Structure 1
Amino acid sequence: MSDSAPSLSALASPLDPIGFETQLGPLPSSGKWPPELRGTLVRNGPNPYIEVPGSHWFLGDGMLHAFSIDNGVVHYRNRWIRTQRLVAQQATGQPRATSLSVSAGDDGTANTNVIGHAGHMLALEEAHLPIDIDVDSLDTIGPIDFNSGLNGAFTAHPKTDPHTGELIFFGFGTPEQLSAGMSYGVISAQGKVTRFERFEAPYASMVHDFMVTKDYVMFPVMPLTASQERAKNGLPPYAWEPEFGTRVGIMPRTGSTRDIEWWEGPPSYVFHPMNAWQDPNHPNLLHADVMEFDVPPLFPLPDGSPSPDANPVAHLVRWTFNTADTRRRFTRIRIDPVPGEFPRIDERFSGLPYRHGWYASHVVTSDGRLQSYNGLRHVDHATEERSDFTFNPDDRVSEPVFVPRAADAREGDGWLLAVVWRATENRSDLVVFNALDLAHGPVCSAALPHRVPAGFHGNWFPAIERKNVAQTGG
């Protein structure tokens, strides 16, 4: 099955979109599939329905890619998310938005993440409401505001409290775009919005993600600044201004946004934290492990000139906050030398002290080249041991997703799933690793005849839970 669509380029690049929808399976596979691995890996990413030369990658229309696994048999399905924007493009043959500063007055692209909560599969980006998706067909149901409880921007990275099942969220640039306005809220495990508050950040910036611990919420505001004035004058709406420094707002979860205290740190940028937690041995200490860039990629200086760092990379860095420090300055220490991005954990330990983390790593080749997203890395925070797997030269791996072997398995005991673009064949594989033994290589894999374009985030939807509530990621 496929829908007609404008012709899209088929260049051998992981960023290039595909111009079709299809349903395939059983896929050719190899290795021994774990019998307990039953469910669906769903990934989300930009896949423009109509390509616009020079358009920012972040603006592509959302496309979902689902790999369903049952008793070692793998089926695949992909679908564009039928946002108002995409439907309008189908009707007119014209692109709807070509700039990060342009508001098309619709429900967005829904191209960044896909999670499950309160019986819904939700496609997310950070400027609009979630889009409700049918978990089996991937058909679009439409925007969802949980009985009018949501209003405005909703993060692509809400956090699920592993004990209460609550979904904790925020928004930035709201209610006015490119402003310092932010929001914070909570959705119960049953789907009721129990909190929604607004507050002002120290300055307007792109706040892609945040951190939640058992008792605190942490809002990182970093100097990838937002400016309505720049946008009005044809300059970058988002730009790197390190002189603003980094600010992190810390709020007790039992308090309100009026209780936020703002901490200071040197300029850097973080798209994604790995985890945050309260130190069990030192009650005054909060920690956050983050993938920190010295300079953010993909964004210019305020005058539109390129960033001075032509190839910025992120490293795993630990931020520590001492709540007894009246100066409110946090410390930073790099805890891993290997650069990468898209960190994940065993989500049962989200916001809690944890041991295991994984991320897509950059690999230095024998001739000194940096191969982006060419490997996977496991970090054991307890032993400080590291393990790696490197793919074939020029292959590119997605964000990994951890799936526990069983609901009561010990932390890290399970499988790591990822999608790999095979550069020489211009197609993709689903690969499955023993999460604690990456060096052994994939225990099994399934082959697609086409590529899954480079995307952002995905999550695992267990078969026994798909009609109720799916596993939510960061």
Structure 2
Amino acid sequence: MTAPFPDHPQLSGNYAPLLMEADAPDLVVRGAIPPELDGTLFRIGPNPQYPPRDRQHHWFAGDGMVHAFRIRDGRVGWSNRWVRTPKFELERAAGEALFGTFGNPLTSADEARGKDSGLANTNIVWHGGRLLALEEAHPPFEMNPADLASKGYFDFDGGLTGGRMTAHPKIDPATGEMLFFGYSVGGYFTDRLSYHVVDAGGNVTQAAAFDAPYAAMIHDFIVTEGHVVFPVLPLTGSLERAMAGRPPFAWEPDKPGWLGVLKRGQHPEMTHWIEIPSCYVFHPMNAFEREGRIVADVMKYEAAPLFPHADGTPGDPAKATARLVRWTIDPARDEVKEQVLDGRPGEFPRFDERRAGLGYRHGWFAAVEQRRKGDRGNWTEIVHADLESDRRTVFSDGEAHHVSEPVFVPRAPDAAEGDGWLLFNVYRAEQNRSDLVILNALDVDGEPVAVAEIPCRVPHGFHGNWAPGV
């Protein structure tokens, strides 16, 4: 018998897990689904199947659950499945949580120590004919796109160095290559990184390991046509802290940040490190090159949110809010200049990924009104940023309606940049259920093109991606 979940802000409201798997093959739709939309939106997020063992639960530590929205011939179907990792299966057999937060051996049950603690809960990508659920401390976990059945870990036929892959690989729109990195590849909380390039068919063409300035949680990275940039920022990892009962990941603002700049095609040991002031970035929007410099648009925090200081004291919530800034990185001068592009609190930046690593005009992100700064995840707006005209337009359904990360889908492969749709979920708190909303991507403050009504709620999650024709 499953025990009740504790009263915890990251286990209540729309953060509470959905304790069922279901199929709804034909959702009620208001409006008209564009006939060009033919494929599946896959979304993923943390969804613990059992109450946590640790008193200090963390939202990032829940089992992965995938939601699939299949759109074809003007109809929308929805289904959801847990990712059945070895951790999930071991705990399902036991009928309770066995692993401490992030697999902490100090708080794990005896039967879980030394076992795989993978969650596969952060992002889900379609590449090389495979659907991969990603979480940065483990290898990718393959799912069947047709029925969301779990297939198991995938290591690129033995080509994965260090056993870890970021949840945020980048796909080159010109070559179809997938670029990714891993951190702590030498063991828990080491400063060793890996870097991989995988061709369009899923074959590893480059794999190497190298050292970072210190051990840190590196959630995402920056890629242009000619360079990659590894942001090592002071959300540090420490096995010694974890074994002493202190935070395994903690914010250490006295440490500087570092940007590791590497030319694509070079061995990562040639990475050039540029020191920057302490800050944190979970997600860049996009990056490109201009006049020998790297221009990167990122969601920057003064201090990492959701994590305490190394002594366990909480961080300053006033600093734990991101805003969209532009870094202009000049490797020749070891210089990084910063410009604020949008001052409102936001996260989950996306763009037309046919422009990945290239100059671009349009971006979108989830946000809250300025007066609600520090809402910590209950995003209420979708913002369209026209970076050429400096114009902003906003979708909002009101403060009680919380939006997810927007995903852009082009109208056609050769459509102009931004010509297409945004797909995202809206949680309607007063009805305790969710919708799939489809907007014209260049008219986000206009009426939705279509709204598909989901018969239950989709919990707050992380990321999603569109798989055309799947």
Shorter-normalised TM range: over 0.9
Distance 1:101 1:83 in 2: 13
Q: For 2:278, what is the secondary structure of its paired residue? A: coil
Distance 2:370 2:428 in 1: 18
Match of residue 110 from structure 2: none
1:110-154 superposed Cα distances (whole Å, 9 cap, x missing partner): 000000111000000000000111011000111001110013111
1:257 aligns with 2:278: no
Match of residue 142 from structure 1: 152
Report if aligned partners of 1:101, 1:231 keep a CA contact under 8 Å in 2.
no
Match of residue 199 from structure 1: 210
Match of residue 109 from structure 2: none
- 1:176-195 equivalence runs, <5 A: 176-195=187-206
- 1:323-472 equivalence runs, <5 A: 323-325=331-333, 328-364=334-370, 372-463=378-469, 466=470
Distance 2:78 2:19 in 1: 16
Q: For 1:58, what is the secondary structure of its paired residue? A: helix
Match of residue 315 from structure 2: 307
Match of residue 15 from structure 1: 15
Shift in CA distance, 80/442, structure 1 to aligned 2, threshold 3 Å: same
Amino acid at match of 1:320: T
Distance 1:302 1:288 in 2: 29
Distance 2:98 2:177 in 1: 35
Q: For 1:440, what is the secondary structure of its paired residue? A: coil
* Greater shift in the superposed pair: 440-449 or 208-217: 440-449
* Greater shift in the superposed pair: 306-315 or 100-109: 100-109
Amino acid at match of 1:91: A
Shift in CA distance, 218/311, structure 1 to aligned 2, threshold 3 Å: closer
- 1:147-166 equivalence runs, <5 A: 147-151=157-161, 152-166=163-177
Report if aligned partners of 2:211, 2:269 keep a CA contact under 8 Å in 1.
no
Match of residue 471 from structure 1: none
1:380-409 superposed Cα distances (whole Å, 9 cap, x missing partner): 111111111112222111000000000000
Distance 2:404 2:373 in 1: 23
Unaligned runs of 5+ residues in structure 2 are 106-113
Report if aligned partners of 1:8, 1:18 keep a CA contact under 8 Å in 2.
no
- 1:34-53 equivalence runs, <5 A: 34-52=34-52
* Greater shift in the superposed pair: 82-91 or 4-13: 4-13
Unaligned runs of 5+ residues in structure 1 are 467-474
Q: CA deviation at 1:226?
A: 1.1
Q: For 1:90, what is the secondary structure of its paired residue? A: helix
Distance 1:169 1:393 in 2: 37
Q: CA deviation at 1:372?
A: 3.6
Distance 2:320 2:271 in 1: 31
Report if aligned partners of 2:227, 2:264 keep a CA contact under 8 Å in 1.
yes
Distance 2:275 2:374 in 1: 35
Give % identity: 46
Q: CA deviation at 1:373?
A: 0.6
Match of residue 249 from structure 2: 238
1:30-71 superposed Cα distances (whole Å, 9 cap, x missing partner): 012111011111100000011215321111000000111112
Report if aligned partners of 1:107, 1:129 keep a CA contact under 8 Å in 2.
no
Shift in CA distance, 9/243, structure 1 to aligned 2, threshold 3 Å: closer
Amino acid at match of 2:286: N
1:419-456 superposed Cα distances (whole Å, 9 cap, x missing partner): 01101111000000000000103111011121101000
Relative to the length of structure 2, the TM-score reads: 0.93
Distance 2:261 2:373 in 1: 41
* Total equivalences in the alignment: 455
1:292 aligns with 2:296: no
Distance 2:150 2:40 in 1: 17
Distance 1:92 1:242 in 2: 41
Report if aligned partners of 1:153, 1:174 keep a CA contact under 8 Å in 2.
yes
Distance 1:107 1:115 in 2: 21
Q: 1:58 aligns with which of 42, 57, 60?
A: 60
Distance 1:164 1:112 in 2: 25
